[in-house]
Amino acid sequence: MWHFFTSKKRNPDLSFIGVELHNHILPGIDDGVQDEDTTIQFIERFQQLGFKKIIATPHIFAGVYPNTSETIHKAYESIISNGSISSSIEIAYAAEYMVDIEFESMLQQSENLLTFGKKQVLIEMSYAAPSPNIEQVVFALQLAGYQPVLAHPERYNFYHQQPKAYQRMLDMGCQFQLNILSLTNYYGPQVKKQAHWLLKKEMYQWVGSDCHHDRHLKSLEDLASTKECYELLENYPFFNKTLLSNSL
């Protein structure tokens, strides 16, 4: 059983975040949600948590989840055309790109990437070892006019004893996205410790759920019922709300 904060409960309301920007809820194209009915249910539950917009970010990972703009758009259209989504919530999509040789080749071939915001590109690495070309990719993305956003930096155990590695990435122009469940013991105490440290240092620019399945979403709902969640996050200067269409 997962353990979260234990103090007084409150009504879940994550409207201060505004936009849920990292999740795997498009049906049947990666290791996330596998059917349209569940996708619709998840959208409704995100809306109940106070989100006004959801940006789905399926994996693009050569040889594992070989998605393309076309496969992702097709999954997105299947949901939009379903007719069951409330008009009061906006649904969009981007992608989460694994930084590997294939991704670097994609950049060299000047392929258009799936982005959010002002050409933000969500990237990730293996949890086993850092991508050997991560710095080249961060540089190449910016040279091509993109803004790299590293997903869940707190989950890369190889950085836990290298605080300067985080600062170097930020100094190179990369942005960081917090997995909100990292603030609990969901991924283990070391990840939790690192997430709190990065949060305290104000190294994050974005926050997302990285929701794949019901356990993730239920854990998010549990976390959003705790007083500590709001004490930690409500006044943090995340950029998420800048993605709302009425934020300009």
Q: What is the CATH number of the domain that holds 202?
A: 3.20.20.140
DSSP 85: S
**171 is a domain residue:** yes
Whole-Å CA distances, 47 to 19, 21, 96: 10, 13, 22
Per residue in 66-101, pLDDT (tens digit) is 999 999 999 999 999 988 899 999 999 999 999 999
Total domains, the chain: 1
Residue pair 219/4 in contact (Cβ under 8 Å)? The answer is yes
Q: How confident is the model at residue 8 (pLDDT cuts 50, 70, 90)?
A: low
Domain assignment present for residue 144? The answer is yes
pTM for this entry: 0.94
> What residues does 149 pair with on adjacent strands?
122, 175
pLDDT of residue 2: 39
**Residue linked to tokens 């981007």:** 94
DSSP-assigned beta bridge partners for residue 122 = 96, 149
CA distance 41 to 25: 10
What is the dihedral sign for C-alpha 76, 141, 98, 128? Answer: negative
